Amino acid sequence: MRRRLVPALLALAVAAALGAATLARAEDGHHGDRNRTEQKTASSSSTTSSSASSSSSDNSVCGEDVTWLQTSISGDRFEIDGGKLALTKTHNPKVIELAQTLIKDHTQSLQSAIELAAKLGIDVPSEPTPSMQWELEEVGELSGTAFDHDYSELEVQDHIQDIQETTDEVKMGCNDEVRDEASKDIPMLQYHLQLAQEALASAANES
């Protein structure tokens, strides 16, 4: 008797399981995309746009936040190292002013960014990126007017890019604290761009 009941019971169990799975898939249609977005770790900035628009007050961390914060930390280290290099290479007052300002401001920015990264559990880069290091090596081979020009030009281009990336973080980032950090950096970066443009103009007048 039990053997005859087994197939019937199995059929009922399978039907019940299929019904439950159908219901689960229907509900998951409403929530699945959001859950997958939240579960992605902050390893790529390509995951950010949907998360950034989900809330005006959000403490989650998405790829845009991680990418910007780590790039900012590497950039701070790049600006400090570059400023120190410039002080050993130049006699141009405008280039000296630029270098000293970059060292001072980016030392403060670095400390703040490191503290925020530690709070959010984000890995802290210990040095500039390889491309940043290569740029410093290239400009470091120059001297005199050539150094003043190329270093100042590098800083102009770098700060234009920094301002764009930081503005993108303010607009598209997910985490309020990271976005606030980026927002505070923008006036500093704009001022640095102005100093770099003045240094570049001064270097052009040397030749």
- CATH code, 181: 1.20.1260.10
In this structure, are 105 and 202 located in the same domain?
Answer: yes
Residues 34 and 64 in one domain: no
| Same domain membership, residue 24 and residue 51 | no
Whole-number pLDDT of residue 131: 96
Burial class (CB in 10 A: 0-12, 13-18, 19+), 203: buried
Residues of the domain holding 20: 2-39
Same domain, 78 and 113: yes
Same domain, 34 and 52: no
What is the rounded CA–CA span in Å between residue 175 and residue 63?
10
Give pLDDT, residue 25: 42
Contact 165, 185 (CB under 8 A): no
Residue 45, pLDDT score: 39
User: Residue 100 has what pLDDT?
Assistant: 98
pLDDT for 30 equals: 38
* Alpha-helical regions (H) of the chain: 2-39, 49-52, 63-89, 93-120, 130-140, 144-172, 176-206
> What is residue 166's predicted lDDT score, i.e. its pLDDT?
98
> Can you tell me the distance from the alpha carbon of 83 to that of 191, in angstroms, rounded to the nearest whole number?
15
Q: How many structural domains compose the chain?
A: 2
Based on the fold, state whether residues 30 and 116 are members of the same structural domain.
no
In this structure, the answer to whether residues 73 and 160 fall within a common structural domain is: yes
Query: Do 102 and 191 form a contact (C-beta atoms < 8 A)?
Result: no
Q: What pLDDT was estimated at residue 109? A: 98
> What are the mean pLDDT values of the chain's consecutive 10-residue runs (207 residues total)?
39 43 41 35 38 51 97 98 98 98 98 98 97 97 97 98 98 97 98 98 89
Same domain, 34 and 91: no
Same structural domain for residues 186 and 146? yes
The pLDDT score that the predictor gives to residue 207 is: 67
